[in-house]
Structure 1
Amino acid sequence: MVYYQKMTPEGYQKIKNEIAELKKDRPRRIKILQEARALGDLSENTEYTEAKRDLGHLQSRVRYLEKQLKYADVVDKTADGKVDLGKTVTLKFDDDDETEKYKVVGRMEADIADGKVAFDSPLGQAIMKKEVNTTVSVMAPAGEYHVTIMAID
């Protein structure tokens, strides 16, 4: 069974950009490896070992990101008035009356510090497909809390 990873068009593009940057850096890392190899005895050559490790990490990251793109399910925003992937929601946290904005994104894009919440996180699951003025319970690891959807952009 193939598992497709939901993501926004912006998240897909961000991964493509990272792959391009890594591929652009690859020749520089290969040159460093070649220069380190030319220093001689490979068994005691820390420069060679580090350069080989760094190049391996770069290539591994590229493979990982390319696999993410291969299995990406890019979801465009809908205009149905409900919380969905790619939309920005304003939420009022009922326990402290504060409001915060979050963009609902795929798991790979999630970054709560940057205002991006994964659609399959406890908060994301609670608000998905809900409309403005809906209050939902969020079952989080730290306990249950309630949020009200104030706006959907």
Structure 2
Amino acid sequence: MVYYQKMTPEGYQEIKDEIARLKKDRPRRIKILQEARSMGDLSENSEYTTAKMELGHLQSRLRYLDKQLRYSEIIQKDESGTIDLGSNVKLLFEGDDDAEEYRIVGRMEADLAKGKISFDSPLGQALMKQKAGATVTVQAPAGSYDVKIIAVN
């Protein structure tokens, strides 16, 4: 059974863009490795060791990203007004006076600093399939709390 990773079209494109950047950088890293190899004794050549390691990391990252694309399921935003992958939500947390905005994304795209929360995080799970005006209880590891959904777009 193959497990497909859910993601937004934007998240899919971000991975494609990173792959393109890495592939563009690969010839430069290969050239650095070749130059370091030509410096002589490889057993005491730190430039060679570093260049080889950096190229290996690049190749490993490319394989990882390729698998992310291969096993991804792109989810289109639900236009019914309910929260789903790709929805932008405005939330009011219990005890706060200021509303906060987030985007519901796939696991690999989540980045709280950029306002992107995963659909399968405790908050994401509580919000899924809800509509504006609802108040949901989030069951988080540190305890439960209520969140009011102000808007969904």
Same fold by TM-score greater than 0.5: yes
Tell me what 2:116 maps to: 116
Find the counterpart in structure 1 of residue 85 from structure 2: 85
Superposed CA RMSD:
0.7
Matched to 1:29, the amino acid is R
The TM-score normalised by the length of structure 2 is: 0.98
Q: Between the two proteins, what is the percent identity of the paired residues?
A: 67
Tell me what 1:11 maps to: 11
Query: Secondary structure of 1:80's match?
Result: coil
* Structure 1 residues 24-71: Cα deviation after superposition (integer angstroms, max 9, x where no partner): 000000000000000010111100000000000000000000000000
Give the aligned partner of residue 46 of structure 2: 46
- Partners of 1:98 and 1:136 lie apart in 2 by 17
For 1:130 and 1:152, the matched residues in 2 are separated by 9
Amino acid at match of 1:12: Y
Q: Which amino acid aligns with 1:145?
A: Y
Structure 1 runs of 4+ with >4 Å offset: none
- Tell me, what secondary structure is at the counterpart of 2:129? coil
Structure-2 separation of matches of 1:37 and 1:89: 53
TM-score scaled by structure 1? 0.98
Looking at structure 2, the residues matched to 96 and 86 of structure 1 have their Cα atoms a distance apart, in angstroms, of: 25
Is 27-36 or 91-100 further displaced after alignment? 91-100
Q: 5+ unaligned residues in a row in structure 1: which ranges?
A: none
Separation in 1, partners of 2:141, 2:19 = 34
Q: How does 1:1-150 map to 2 (within 5 A)?
A: 1-150=1-150
* Contact 1:77/1:85, CA 8 A, preserved across alignment: yes
